[in-house]
Structure 1
Amino acid sequence: MTSKTINIGLDEIFSLAKAALINHGANEENADAVANTVTNAERDGSISHGLFRIPGYIKALQSKKVDGSATPEISEVTPVILKCDAKNGFAPLAHQYGIKKLIEAAQKFGIAGLSIQRCHHFAALWPEVEAISEHGLVGLTSVSYMPGVAPSGGATALFGTNPIAFSWPRPGKNPIVFDMATASMAKGEIQIAARDGHSVPLGTGLSSSGELTTDASEIDKGVLLPFGGHKGSVIALMVELLSGPLVGETFSYETKERDNGDGGPAQGGQFILAMSPEIISGKDTSAQTEEFLKKYNNIDGTRLPGLRRHENRKNIGPRAVNLELINTIKKLA
């Protein structure tokens, strides 16, 4: 089965997303932040985190789970530890408020951490870390979600898809950026594969009866598995700890217990770390890094993480978007 698509410009993607959000209770500031995040995902080819997410954002506004007029509050716990109370709002605005101060602290002291509480994160993670590396810093972030992934060896969901993102600065060049779920596949990618009738690799997940399957719709009813077996499982465990108790928030199962089940982004926390390679190492490491990357790129078949996303970004033309999704969002707008 092949879904019909329609070509739509990036400006129109932004306008459509923003109009839908405002129409359902988001104020200008929140709608602008979310629409920008969604548009950038479409621009960079991350369709599972683009317009695909707008109906979920709207459900959270309709149910009043999310405060569409929230103004995040930043507090300085210590000179290098910042806390953001997102005030039960969407994460993109919390990022706008908190990451600027995080960057300033890391540039001054060499390392700084930001804990975000009471936020609703529904997007990719690369925008946060890439923003950090654009200022010469190393970025690391993680979030948990609601249970959808079984620990290695099990068949019961306990972990969220638990993504983690990392970025490394390259003066005058795009940073190295990776953003990945610790699940074998992001939940949004499973849902899109199910929608479009595509199969997924064996080992991605289990059906509701606990059987391995390549049917994405069956996995959507069952559980995902961690990537790389027990190795991905322990990284997912690490993300649960970093994004839950470390930042004063919930584990994935606790997040689900308090969620209203409306299909929108659940309330949770986010861990973000920024580090200065120059201050920590005591020298300029850019030449050393570039020599390493030269060797990396000289190996046939390799590709730096984030390269495809940055290549997609050069294209400012229209994007092909699922027609049914566009019609749904137009009705919401």
Structure 2
Amino acid sequence: MTQAIEYISFEEARALSLELLTLAGFSKGHAETIAASVLKAQQDECHSHGLYRLMGCVKTLQVGKVDPNAEPTVDTETPGIVRVNSHYGYSLMGFHAGLPHFIEKTKKQGVAAMAINNCFHFSALWPEVEALADAGLVSFAVTPSHCWVAPAGGTKPSFGTNPFAFGWPRAGKHPFIFDFATSASARGEIELHRRAGKPIPLGWAIDAEGNPTTDAEAALNGAMLTFGGHKGSALSAMVELLAGPLINDMMSSESMEFDDGAGVTPCHGELLIALDPQSFLGASMTESMGRAEKLFSSITDQGARLPSQRRYEARDRNKDKGLPVQAALLVDLRAMLAELKAAVPA
């Protein structure tokens, strides 16, 4: 079944998001950074990380997990490292608080890392590496999630969806960006299939008995699978280690324990590493970055597509049309907003 799409203006979507988040109890800073993230994803037609995520944000707050007023603190004392403590708020304010220091350290030293700790993380990683690419930096980012994904050859979850993202700046063009889960699909994609009553592709998940399934509900109650078999499984383990023990934060299994059955947004950490091409290349900067462009041309000249190309095309297409939103989701969001309004004392 195909879901009906309704276009709404960016201003209407922003107002809906901010009002919903504010009434739920989020501070101005959290409401604005969350809204900015989901609106950007919605414009790019990244539905699994768009306005749909507002419902999870509100639920996480309502069950008392996330701190809606948490103010991140930034530690820049260690050379080459920016540490951000989000104090159990959402990660987005922490990222933006640490970003200027992160960029400064990277450009000064050639390479730097930023660890964001004690944060609830729901957003895609591509906006973060895209922000770094806009600053002229090469970067990658990793984060775990909840323990939903079985290792290759197993039937029980050991990993999170464990995404990683990479960004490469391009002069005068959209940056080269990829961002994908090490699971065969994002958790949000399965949830969207469940909401729509659609089967999922075979190979995304297994049911609670370890059998392959195309039923989204059975998948959510069973285990997701890694992409590429043992290769995706090894990469998923890498993400667990880099964004867990290395930065002294929770792995996916520990995040699941912390959730304690609430079924809300994962709480864990995020690691970002950035490199400054100018520091590496000096006078050969223009020549070397031009060689990268030859690689990209060799891909597109034969009709192949660069990662994120569809997102960029959607972004440009929707600048004038507005934001395409599933009509059923708009109904749910407006109903949630009405409930929050009704709960406000007269």
TM-score tier, shorter chain, comes to: over 0.9
Q: TM-score, normalised by structure 1?
A: 0.96
Residues 149-181 of structure 1 show CA distances to partners (whole Å, capped at 9, x for unaligned) of 000000000100000000001111110000000
User: Is the contact between residue 56 and residue 263 of structure 1 (CA under 8 Å) also seen in structure 2?
Assistant: no
Residue 223 of structure 2 is matched in structure 1 by: 223
**Alignment partner for residue 312 of structure 2, among 289, 293, 310?**
310
Q: CA contact under 8 A between 1:69 and 1:89: conserved in structure 2? A: yes
Deviation at 1:56, TM superposition (A): 0.8
Equivalent position of 1:37 in the other structure: 37
Partner of residue 290 from structure 2, selected from 269, 287, 301: 287
1:324 aligns with 2:331: no
Distance 1:6 1:261, change over 3 A: farther
What is the RMSD of the two structures over their aligned residues, measured on CA atoms? Answer: 1.4
Structure 2: runs of 5 or more not aligned: 338-346
Distance 1:332 1:197, change over 3 A: closer
Report SS of the residue matched to 1:78.
Answer: coil
1:297 to partner: Cα distance: 1.7
The answer to whether 1:207 aligns with 2:211 is no
Instruction: Return the alpha-carbon distance in structure 2 between the equivalents of residues 113 and 159 of structure 1.
Output: 23
1:267: how far off?
1.5
**Structural mapping, 1:157-306, within 5 Å:** 157-282=157-282, 283-284=284-285, 285-300=288-303, 302-306=304-308
Cα deviation for residue 266 of structure 1 reads 2.2
Amino acid at match of 2:302: I
In 1, Cα distance between equivalents of 2:64 and 2:79: 35
Change (3 A) 1:200 1:277: same
User: Structure 1 unaligned runs (5+)?
Assistant: none
Q: What is the match of residue 46 of structure 1?
A: 46
- Distance, in Å, in 2 between the alignment partners of 1:328 and 1:298 is 43
Aligned residues: 332
Distance 2:137 2:204 in 1: 34
Cα offset for 1:331? 3.0
- Is 2:98 the counterpart of 1:98? yes
Alignment partners' CA distance in 2, 1:49 and 1:142: 16
Amino acid at match of 2:329: L
Aligned residues of 1:159 and 1:252 also touching (Cα < 8 A): yes
Alignment CA distance shift 1:75-1:313 (3 Å): same
Q: What is the correspondence of 1:98-177 to structure 2 with a 5 Å cutoff?
A: 98-177=98-177
Calculate percent identity across the aligned residue pairs. Answer: 38
For 2:261 and 2:91, how far apart are their aligned partners in 1? 19
Residue 208 of structure 1: how far off its partner (Å)? 1.5
TM-score (norm 2): 0.93
